[in-house]
Amino acid sequence: MPKLFEAVPNFSEGRDLEKISRIAGSVRDTPGISVLNLHSDPDHNRSVLTFAGEGEPLLRASIALARACATEIDLAAQSGVHPRMGSLDVLPFVPLGPPLSDTTLEDAAGLARRVGEEIGALGLPVYLYGTAARASHRKNLADVRRGGYEGLLARAEDPLWKPDYGPEEIPPRSGAVAVGARPFLVAFNAYLGTEDIEVARAVATEVRERDGGLPGIKALGLEVGGRAQVSMNLVDLETTPISVALEAVRRSAGRHGIMVESTELVGLLPLAAILEAARHYLTLPNLGPEHVLEAVLWEGRQESRKY
């Protein structure tokens, strides 16, 4: 079974559509790559590209992407709304598990280090983070990018914050890159039947791991379009799948006398996460990808390539 990964780079251009198109094109033109999504945010002047493939094509696409960002984006000439540290700012690799492949987080960390080394050789300082980090104080992306480009400059003399690859001096035009590995993450929001943001905040506090809730739930209470929203990141779907997170929100909101009116998903979800929800709510314990016509067809097509 081939090892498949997803890459979710963030780069520091969200306004100039021609530049964005050339940058995304550097990935799209790499053989063996499927571009899954491109989301540009003019307010934050930032884009997020999602693409997938096997290790070698991803390595080549990542190098092409780093080159294109360094060519197209001049960080020094930019207004920095988002605390970015580089033109290609963050480059996480995510393992794609069953039924797509049997890739592990360690595989993704290995790929991130190889990519980091190659990007370093292009003359960009590279900081490894997440499962790819070489020291525990550099695991958390928020710590690595604290203060953005200016923060990196301020820590330049600190031996704890030398780049893993590339020059020690940060080039003002391209900045530096954080390259990492992390598990698949699902952004899942629940809209409550109230305008009272305090209820959303109380529910978020009750369900999130940080405050004693469920493992793998990060949550905030927000007001979105006049409705109270519990905005969640589910970072450990094996332990706390979507159905368990939603039932926790429903119970917690119910204690405040409030219903969950609807939910929304931001970005992509692996088939396994949807099957889990169907298993749970349909009391259908044996439902697996082998029951999904498209998944079977897709595997059959993979196999038929061998002949």
Q: Tell me if 278 contacts a copy of itself by CB under 8 A.
A: yes
37 binds a copy of itself, rule: CB under 8 A = yes
Name the minimum Å distance from CB 281 to a copy of itself: 4
Residues of this chain, 110-169, that bind a copy of itself according to CB under 8 A: none
**What separation in angstroms does the CA of 276 have from each of 146, 213, 289?**
36, 21, 10
**Binding status of residue 8 toward a copy of itself by CB under 8 A:** no
With tokens 């080394």, the residue in question is 117
Residue 52 lies near a copy of itself (rule: CB under 8 A): yes
Distance, in Å, from the CA atom of 281 to the CA atom of 276, rounded to the nearest integer, reads: 9
Note whether 285 binds a copy of itself by CB under 8 A. yes
CA torsion sign, 111 to 114 to 117 to 121?
Answer: negative
Least distance to a copy of itself from the beta carbon of 153, Å?
38
Cβ(13)–Cβ(72) below 8 Å: yes
Q: Under 8 Å CB-to-CB from 169, ≥6 apart: which residues? A: 125, 156
- Active-site pick, 44, 82, 256, 280: 82
Q: Does 38 bind a copy of itself (CB under 8 A)?
A: no
Q: Which one of residues 159, 226, 286, 306 is an interface residue with a copy of itself (CB under 8 A)?
A: 286
Residues forming beta bridges with residue 177, ordered by sequence position: 126
Minimum Å gap between C-beta 244 and a copy of itself is 12
Calpha distance 112→53 (Å, rounded): 14
Q: 250: burial class by Cβ within 10 Å (0-12, 13-18, 19+)?
A: middle
Number of residues that bind a copy of itself (CB under 8 A): 46
306 binds a copy of itself (CB under 8 A): no
Interface residues for a copy of itself in 57-96 (CB under 8 A)?
Answer: 96
Question: How deeply is 298 buried, as exposed, middle or buried, from its count of CB atoms within 10 A (0-12, 13-18, 19+)?
Answer: middle
Check binding of 298 to a copy of itself (CB under 8 A): yes
Give the C-alpha separation, 296 to 292, whole Å: 6
* 284 binds a copy of itself per the rule CB under 8 A: yes
Q: Per CB under 8 A, does 23 bind a copy of itself?
A: no
Give the separation between CA 144 and CA 138, rounded to whole angstroms.
6
Per CB under 8 A, the list member of 210, 224, 255, 281 interacting with a copy of itself is: 281
Catalytic annotation on 44? no
Active site residues: 82
Binding residues for a copy of itself, rule: CB under 8 A, are: 6, 34-37, 52, 96, 99-100, 242-243, 246, 260-265, 267-271, 274-275, 277-278, 280-287, 291-298, 300-301, 304
